[in-house]
Structure 1
């Protein structure tokens, strides 16, 4: 049974939390690792460097979209795949536990599942531009 009165607020909390985390990760790639460093890291994984810039932009813009509730369902769905990409390219070889050196795959996979769940649940309360209006 779902509490239809409170569920939109639970979704809002998850949307705000994940939005803040994505925004933080995007800004960290921009200001701490720098775009050149982010590209270099992606290249060290055998990926094209430009994919690091795309990922940084997706995290930054996706974080803002989640915080504001602009097409949050679609954004959550897309960010879920970015998290799976991180899990399988950067973290898979480090084992399961995220406390392992280099971070294992459990944390990004868990967040990917959270993002896919948000895509299913909906935009939540106070979304500026929900996918569909009732």
Structure 2
């Protein structure tokens, strides 16, 4: 690959050595950041509670609130776990992207762009990361690669 001339040339070998780790890092961090949200909902960790999520869903008109709170927690926890492992990567990423699209359309869009106002900035970032992971698949350092199948 023909790289543009690097302004700080001595870092080139470092960039080249770490380039292959950039995608697995993105995939794994995306999963790791989703996991605690699912753990809050499903297991009551980190001050969470499925009934709080269901109450919020009902308040904003997402029904049936309790089953959809469980679906959301499952996508966040198990989808996040699968992204970390690179197992069923495309399925997990699709689930996350769809969940975030629903969150944007049903909750955040009306609040404008900025996350500080409850807007769609943050869930859009997660949706786009999930979409990129869906397109790319598990990649080199994934269990999908180890088992030899991508779904």
Shorter-chain TM-score bucket reads 0.7 to 0.9
Is the contact between residue 8 and residue 124 of structure 1 (CA under 8 Å) also seen in structure 2? no
Is the contact between residue 38 and residue 52 of structure 1 (CA under 8 Å) also seen in structure 2? yes
Q: Does 2:101 match 1:84?
A: yes
Q: Which runs of 5+ in 1 are unaligned?
A: none
- Residue 41 of structure 2 corresponds to 29
Q: Which runs of 5+ in 2 are unaligned?
A: 4-16
Alignment size in residue pairs: 131
Normalised by the size of structure 2, how large is the TM-score?
0.76
- Residue 45 of structure 1 corresponds to 60
Residue aligned with 1:104, SS: coil
Higher RCO structure, 1 or 2 (CA under 8 Å, sep 6+): 1
More helix by share: 2
Normalised by the size of structure 1, how large is the TM-score?
0.85
Residue aligned with 1:42, SS: helix
Q: Provide the C-alpha distance between the structure 2 equivalents of 1:63 and 1:92, rounded to a whole number of angstroms.
A: 24
Q: Aligned-pair distance for 1:89?
A: 1.3
Is the contact between residue 22 and residue 63 of structure 1 (CA under 8 Å) also seen in structure 2? yes
Q: Aligned-pair distance for 1:122?
A: 2.1
- Residue 31 of structure 2 corresponds to 19
Structure 1 runs of 4+ aligned residues shifted over 4 Å read: 5-8
Q: What's the RMSD between the two structures over aligned residues?
A: 2.4
